[in-house]
Structure 1
């Protein structure tokens, strides 16, 4: 199975699903830690009992040396305090999620629930609690006529885990105060989006490579030019989050068909509404054949209840734009945050102009096109980044100036001028917005000077601004 040469290598869909399931939920790592702690709490006392008298004196100095009652007191104190600290940590995490949802954007919650530092902090606390309880049951006082047994190694490990938990609590509080800052949120979204762009979108090929790829794609079925494509209905409703490209191409090959996924990644699909089109190699599929093929195609796509950044670079633009729009709402009135958001969006757009956007193909090993995946063009990303902020923020001069600077910066990075027409259309809308708002004469002059500078940048050769 060969993919389009313009397609970067991406992990298998099963790997992506597993990674998303682990990274976006709070419970998997803590549950694993609890299981490991219980196992350790069973193994270490057994090791204590087997090697109690064989440890060198140098090591025994550092081990717990109290009796059974002292060991019970230590373990009870650790387990009791750790469950309280864990409750506090959960409470602080929930408060942070509420703050992010109400003040910035509900679409930022996934970023917080994917925070590995929070995962491992909860794992440390719950693991220490579970380990202490497990070890506590192995301590025997000897009052019932049996032999007293104190697992010195196990109690010492519990003490070390308690110290580590105290340090973890301090680090967690420091981490939390940093994470709730809007600058940190924007940086995290920017980093995730840049990684998705690098993983999903290939850089523009050289002219020779592009010609070779185009020649290879023509060797496949020519059914895409036929007008008799048959629609494929979605089986469930939600957002298109993942596509198993090799699996989709295999389904099309077995059916002797070409498949086009018309919905872009992150688009909303509705059950019973067509989201793809198939072309038969010869003739048309019967109703039964089309139903079976639709079911198999549906098995290669993942539809979720929320967008993710696994294969959807536009989701990061939506998250940042939401933060900017929320900052410009009358209840918040924070244009400085909006200006910072535009800076992040400009940087991401500058990266996109060097990427191969739009539709791409998935080919067989013999070069035959088996699937075509619809992709958003640069105009979609630009509109997502600019439209809402322009609508809500043009009355603020600093926001308007930063939007004009965005067009200048992106045009500078558009060396080939491929996005010139898109940038010109967006700049014209921005100019119209300037004309619809009231500014002082000095503000109007500043805006027009910056607009002319941006216009010169957009129309200049190779996207280089003219000063």
Structure 2
């Protein structure tokens, strides 16, 4: 039992350390998203859970084994089941190595990054925002953009914009019947982004 428990922790340590080194090398060539995707990957989480579960099971069974000639107790069924778990752990290890080998192939890396990018684009720029008419749109005759008086909104601190809540801006603009405009600051221009 102690051999199985020790081997499971050795396998976990060795496999995951070699995998992280491989992924670090692949991420330096392709993208740093590989490491983040590796930690989010369900297969990785399940495999780590299986190895940790086998280790924990062996420790619990090892705790119930008592030595001695008169009061010796060895749970034969639990020990046999731990051997079955160890063999299953080897199968999971082989599957995990195959999964990682296919995960770091260039085509799979590009496909996962493309899928993640499309989800981010859909989240930040949904198609339905701004496409529908505003209430009483046909009654309004808006001024051309150049003739409007714009109000600049200054930033409260240094930094850069990471995300914009388009839905909230659209609701705010509809509520006040106005236009919200964002313009990038030129490199030689000093000051906040006008909104």
Q: Give the TM-score taking structure 2 as reference length.
A: 0.68
Q: CA deviation at 1:82?
A: 1.1
CA distance, structure 1, for counterparts of residue 136 and residue 96 of structure 2: 52
Residue 2 of structure 2 corresponds to residue 80 of structure 1: no
Q: Deviations over 1:84-136 (max 9, x none)?
A: 21122112212222221332233443223322212221221122112212220
In structure 1, which of residues 129, 132, 135 is the aligned counterpart of residue 58 of structure 2?
132
1:122–1:205 distance in 2 versus 1, CA, 3 Å: closer
CA distance, structure 1, for counterparts of residue 82 and residue 39 of structure 2: 28
CA distance, structure 1, for counterparts of residue 124 and residue 41 of structure 2: 22
SS of 1:231 mapped into structure 2: coil
Partner of 1:211: 133
Pairwise CA RMSD: 3.7
For structure 1, the residue ranges without an aligned partner over 5 or more in a row are 1-74, 219-224, 240-262, 267-310, 312-357, 378-467
> Does the Cα contact within 8 Å between 1:100 and 1:109 map onto a contact in 2?
no
Partner of 1:361: 169
Residue 31 of structure 2 corresponds to residue 94 of structure 1: no
> Does the Cα contact within 8 Å between 1:265 and 1:375 map onto a contact in 2?
no
SS of 1:368 mapped into structure 2: helix
For structure 2, the residue ranges without an aligned partner over 5 or more in a row are 141-148, 185-195
> Does the Cα contact within 8 Å between 2:129 and 2:167 map onto a contact in 1?
no
> Does the Cα contact within 8 Å between 1:117 and 1:172 map onto a contact in 2?
yes
Residue 150 of structure 2 corresponds to residue 201 of structure 1: no
Q: Deviations over 1:372-422 (max 9, x none)?
A: 998899xxxxxxxxxxxxxxxxxxxxxxxxxxxxxxxxxxxxxxxxxxxxx
SS of 2:25 mapped into structure 1: helix
CA distance, structure 1, for counterparts of residue 182 and residue 88 of structure 2: 48
Partner of 1:184: 108
CA distance, structure 2, for counterparts of residue 213 and residue 126 of structure 1: 58
The structure richer in strand per residue is 1
> Does the Cα contact within 8 Å between 1:264 and 1:374 map onto a contact in 2?
no
SS of 1:233 mapped into structure 2: coil
1:107–1:173 distance in 2 versus 1, CA, 3 Å: closer
SS of 1:105 mapped into structure 2: coil
Q: Deviations over 1:205-231 (max 9, x none)?
A: 796xx213685xx9xxxxxx6637453
1:80–1:129 distance in 2 versus 1, CA, 3 Å: same
> Does the Cα contact within 8 Å between 2:66 and 2:72 map onto a contact in 1?
yes
> How many residues in Structure 1 have an aligned counterpart in Structure 2?
171
Q: Deviations over 1:307-363 (max 9, x none)?
A: xxxx9xxxxxxxxxxxxxxxxxxxxxxxxxxxxxxxxxxxxxxxxxxxxxx786254
SS of 1:212 mapped into structure 2: coil
SS of 2:156 mapped into structure 1: strand
CA distance, structure 2, for counterparts of residue 264 and residue 373 of structure 1: 18
Q: Give the TM-score taking structure 1 as reference length.
A: 0.31
Q: CA deviation at 1:176?
A: 1.3
In structure 1, which of residues 85, 88, 113 is the aligned counterpart of residue 39 of structure 2?
113
